[in-house]
Amino acid sequence: MLLEVANLTVCYDRALLINDLSMVVDTGELVSLVGPNGAGKSTLLRAITGLVAWEKKSKRGTVGGDITLEGRILFNGERIDRTPAHEIVKKGLIHCPERRRPFREMTVLENLHAGAYLVKDRKEAQGNLEQVYALFPVLKARSKQISGTLSGGEQQMLAIGRALMSEPKLLLIDEPSTGLAPISRGEVFEKIRQIAQLHITVLLVEQEVSTVFKMASRNYVLSSGKIIAEGPGETLLQNEVIRKTYLGL
């Protein structure tokens, strides 16, 4: 298993966000994680990439700094739940965060360079840049532009491109289509499909269930911090309760 989450529990103060959750992602899969707002999808991704632990450490002793993180997270068979976020990246587990979050005052190219921060070899970084440009020609055209002035769709491309710069083995993408125009959404989904074809394992969090179920090989349905269903899209859609209650279809 590439990624294995076992009995994970996350509490912020007294709010139980992830409740004894277990899940796996295998090499080469495109797995989706769907569920209503506030189900804990983003928190799960943040826990996997060490951001919850980072928050816990950096907010110790402050209001809202009372964070509990229990359970095991394994990446490539290695425990990472005690590893600092910036070192998890080195292992090839990259998180493309919610709301895109580009470095807004920096140019597109600088953002991409920041993504390759850990790539020591210049040639290798240049090669990665070429690959990202090949996948997202729009980024090449706008390489000198300040990233805060890009459109939402372009910012999403940038966020994914930035994540690809460090040669991920597993890419976690958090709600890439949220807030985008329909045409940009289609484009973003198409790019994610292409990334999956490059043999990069993807764990995709999305609201747009109908599209993701067609793309993903396996899906997890999350509600109130628990996995309540798992399987291929068609199977999940056949289940009346899940379809109506959790997916709103």
Q: How far is the CB of 161 from another protein (least distance, A)?
A: 13
Paired strand residues for 93: 170
* CB closer to another protein, 103 vs 133: 103
Residue 78 falls in which region: left (phi positive, over 0), alpha (psi -120 to 50) or beta: beta
Closest by Cα among 74, 79, 96 to 168: 96
Q: How far is the CB of 64 from another protein (least distance, A)?
A: 10
CA separation for the pair 97, 113 (Å, rounded): 17
* CB closer to another protein, 56 vs 243: 56
* CB closer to another protein, 32 vs 166: 166
Q: How far is the CB of 62 from another protein (least distance, A)?
A: 5
Query: Which residues in this chain contact another protein in the complex, by CB under 8 A?
Result: 49-51, 54-55, 58-62, 65, 84-87, 89-90, 94-95, 97, 101, 103-106, 110, 113-115, 117-118, 162-163, 166
* CB closer to another protein, 98 vs 230: 98
Q: How does 9-27 read in b/e, with b if 16+ C-beta sit within 10 Å?
A: bbbbeeebbbbebebbbee
Q: How far is the CB of 247 from another protein (least distance, A)?
A: 26
CA separation for the pair 217, 63 (Å, rounded): 41
* CB closer to another protein, 12 vs 136: 12
Q: How far is the CB of 6 from another protein (least distance, A)?
A: 23
Q: How does 141-151 read in b/e, with b if 16+ C-beta sit within 10 Å?
A: ebeeebbeebe
